Amino acid sequence: MKQIIECVPNFSEGRDLSIIKQITDVIESVKGIRLLNVDPGYATNRTVVTFVGEPEQVVEAAFRAIQRASELIDMRYHKGEHPRFGATDVCPLVPISDISMEETVEYARKLAKRVGNALNIPVYCYEFAAFEEKRRSLANCRAGEYEGLAEKMKTAEWQPDFGPAVFNERSGASAIGARNFLIAYNVNLNTTSVRLANSIAFDIREAGRVKREGDPITGKIVTDENGEPIRIPGTLKKVRAIGWFIKEYGIAQISINLTDITITSVHQAFDEVCERARDRGIRVTGSELIGMIPLQAMLDAGKYFLQKQHRSIGIPDHEIIKIAVKSLGLDELAPFDPGKRIIEYFLEDKDNKLIDLSLSEFVHETASDSPAPGGGSVAAYVGAMGAALGTMVANLTSHKRGWDHCWEEFSQWAEKGKVIYEELLKLADKDTEAFNQIMEAFKLPKESSAEITIRKNAIQAATKNAIEIPFRVMQLSYNSMEIIEAMAKIGNPNSVTDAGVGALCASTAVSGAYLNILTNASGFGDKESIRQILGEAELLDSQVKTRCEMIQSVVRGKLNSW
């Protein structure tokens, strides 16, 4: 998967749409960036922009936006209801897909350093990117706002992390950081009572409610020795919540901000609201997602509800997502389209992918007069089918009547198989891409000695890639044998032949991919660098035949016993 980062800069301009447009234009000028949302606020005089892309692209787009904002927004004349201390007030980076928080922090600090050095804007790193604990809090960094910034920066305690330790009168300062994904999420109730909705919200939100004597609503507020109200904390960490009535729908909702879904997930919040609502005789009828959501959050929700039902989680992602949507009631108020609401799906490039073809289209494309897809892609596809058959037997066994005591074991087998067949499907495309890269390398000019060297190096690099991809196909297809063998021995006996066919597919994939390695290796100059791959590939090709025959023996033995 591609590494994907979300960026949510807040600019201190919410009234002049021409200025906002100029800022978003430079964001969109970076290739590969997708602008998801632009939300200007007149009263706050602030615009929140959301865009996503690969890390380097996001850092470049964020820098261009901060630069443009510094040219267009003069903080000396800015007024608005929202706290702020700079033209680009805050700019968080959020890990979305296949990237760790630690990596995201490095990109945030890289951006902060560039902004400070190139634009002479003081920058404070906050949240996970903070260099010291007191700067983790955005509120601490921004305390005193723009008006107090000049005096604040004179103290040793509040020197900026990057940029000049001198007050920038026009642009102010910026807070750049890394944080977890924030989800705005509403839970629907079968009541119109805002009081009851608020009561549930106070139960679950981290801030909880003020402690009172006697009646929890009208009783006297209990204070500590300093006269500060004592609070009863709510049940969920990193959660803000309030109850309100939505006239459009005619119902009350719990409006929730999940500020860190690694601490409290969507499904955990939903279930907790259900429990607290039930205590008050209220029923949750569904929920509503505001904006977009990472794929993993939806998969985690679907798996959670499947496991509560003692159902296998080794099923295709689209089925897991369907369970999540139905379990959370995300389609109660409006249709929920995963392609438009899940970030990774929204960004997905589906042009010319083999795995998006129907089975008949794949066959026809293979049969055409184009050399790709060829044997390598077909080997990967056949390997995926073998792993899928093993996964199918595991899923059928997990759901078989009378086998409820071992559903979890077979769910784990199915999940292993799913990981393998999904990667093999991607390798079907990567093998074709590798072949095309070799062809492109051969087309490079070769007039001068420099061009000849560049062309030779490109051919060798592309060829090595074309060796490594089928080797990965061999490894994965062989690894699927573990699942297939287990299903032949202990799986649903009615599906034993499916395990047998799966073994044949896996064996074919291993041997087919090996042929690809041999043909590509024959034209590779640096044999020493691929000696280990060639040795391991030869061993896998030998082992897979023995293992396949053993599985076939198990299958035939069970068939003969009938």
Q: Which residues are catalytic, by number?
A: 82, 431
Query: Distance between CA atoms of 85 and 143, rounded to whole angstroms?
Result: 9
Query: Distance between CA atoms of 421 and 229, rounded to whole angstroms?
Result: 57
Cβ pair 97, 1 in contact under 8 A: yes
Cβ pair 49, 24 in contact under 8 A: yes
Task: Report the candidate in 106, 144, 105, 241 with the shortest Cα–Cα distance to residue 184.
Answer: 241
The helix, strand and coil proportions of the chain, stated in percent and rounded to the nearest 5, come to: 55, 15, 30
Strand partners of residue 91:
176
Phi, psi of 15 (to 5 degrees): -115, -35
Query: Distance between CA atoms of 95 and 84, rounded to whole angstroms?
Result: 24
Query: Distance between CA atoms of 150 and 129, rounded to whole angstroms?
Result: 23
Query: Distance between CA atoms of 336 and 561, rounded to whole angstroms?
Result: 50
Contacts 24+ apart (CB under 8 A), 130-134: 130/177, 131/161
Q: Where are the alpha helices (DSSP H) in 248-331?
A: 266-279, 295-308, 317-328
Strand partners of residue 86:
172
| H or E stretch covering 486 | helix 449-490
DSSP letter string, 422-445: HHHHHHHHHHHHHHHHHHHHHTS-
| Alpha carbon distance, N-terminus to C-terminus of the chain | 46
Helix 375-398 × helix 407-442 angle, to 10°:
170
Instruction: Name, in order, each residue with C-beta under 8 angstroms of 256's C-beta and a sequence gap of 6 or more.
Output: 184, 185, 186, 187, 201, 204, 205, 239, 240, 241, 269, 273
Between CA 265 and CA 45, with CA 186 as vertex, the angle to 5 degrees is: 105
What is the three-class DSSP state of 46? strand
Q: What is the largest CA-CA distance in the chain?
A: 91
